[in-house]
Amino acid sequence: MNNPFQDPELIEIRALIRSGREPDNPQLINQWLHRESCCANRRGIRPCTRCSKERQQNHYEQQFYLLLDTISDELISPNWRRCCLDAIWQPLHVLHQLIHNEQDRSRWLQLRQELSLCSHYVAPGLTAIS
């Protein structure tokens, strides 16, 4: 299967998202989430039927952490960080769909907790006028 993490165009889109260089283009995040799937055979926000659960979990956790890191970066405009916060539910949603046992559930709850803590600390900076 193709590895979306090696696609030069997707690498550039991830860099744009992480750096917040296109703060007036929030659609870029949705385009990335829909184009960068766990494999080249699926699109959208549902689990893939061709990739292993572990591959999918790894993939969507990487998406989650790219968005979480961007949300946490106070050097990026508040508007862009809010866009990332609005989109972070998508990889988290797919990860929820991939829960098959208590270990998966525990990991998913851990990610939600990280998001909750991060949101609590960055909230004042997200309300700043951009």
User: CA 89: distance to chain centroid?
Assistant: 8
The pLDDT of residue 45 is 55
pLDDT digits (tens, 9 = 90+) for 42-67: 555 566 777 888 988 999 999 999 99
What integer is the mean pLDDT of 94-103? 94
The pLDDT of residue 5 is 58
Mean pLDDT of the chain: 87
Residues 5, 60 contacting (CB under 8 angstroms): no
Got the DSSP string for 27-52?
Answer: HHHHHHHHH--SSTT--SSS--SSS-
Which of the four pLDDT bands, split at 50, 70 and 90, describes residue 18? very high
Separation of alpha carbons 126 and 113, rounded Å: 19
Rg, the chain, Cα only: 15
Output the pTM of the full model: 0.87
Separation of alpha carbons 100 and 97, rounded Å: 8
Residue 118 pLDDT exceeds 60: yes
The pLDDT of residue 76 is 95
Is residue 26 packed enough to be buried (19+ CB in 10 Å), middle (13-18) or exposed (0-12)?
middle
The two tokens of residue 2 are: 């193709």
Residues 112, 91 contacting (CB under 8 angstroms): no
Which of the four pLDDT bands, split at 50, 70 and 90, describes residue 88? very high
